[in-house]
A = this chain, B = another copy of it.
Amino acid sequence: MRSAVAVFPFLFFLLSGFVNGRVLPESTPRPSPDAAAAFARWLVSQNSWGVLSTLAADSGGAPFGNVVSFSDGLPDKGLGVPYFYLTTLDPTARYGLKDPRVSLTLSEYSLGTCGNNDPESPLCSKITLTGKFKLVDGKSKNLVSSWPKDHNFEVYTMEIEDIYLINFFGGPKPLTVDQYLKWKSS
Q: Evaluate whether A63 and B54 lie within 8 angstroms (CB atoms) in the complex, with A15-B120, A116-B17, A117-B17 already known.
A: yes
- A44 → B minimal CB distance (Å): 14
Size of chain A's interface in residues, with CB distance under 8 A? 47
Name the segment of A31-39, A105-113, A175-183 touching the other chain. Answer: A105-113
A103 CB-CB contact with B under 8 Å: yes
Assess whether A63 is in contact with B53, with CB atoms less than 8 Å apart.
yes
A9 CB-CB contact with B under 8 Å: no
Q: Which residues of B contact A68 (CB under 8 A)?
A: 119-120
Q: Evaluate whether A109 and B65 lie within 8 angstroms (CB atoms) in the complex, with A49-B119, A49-B120, A118-B20 already known.
A: no
In the bound assembly, the distance between CA atoms of A65 and B66 in angstroms comes to 10
Assess whether B53 is in contact with A101, with CB atoms less than 8 Å apart.
no
Assess whether A105 is in contact with B66, with CB atoms less than 8 Å apart.
yes
A102 CB-CB contact with B under 8 Å: yes
Q: Which residues of B contact A46 (CB under 8 A)?
A: none
Q: Which residues of B contact A53 (CB under 8 A)?
A: 51, 53, 63-65, 103, 105
A interface residues, Cβ below 8 angstroms from B: 14-15, 17, 20-21, 48-56, 59, 61-69, 85, 89, 91, 101-107, 109-110, 116-120, 126, 128, 130, 162, 164, 171
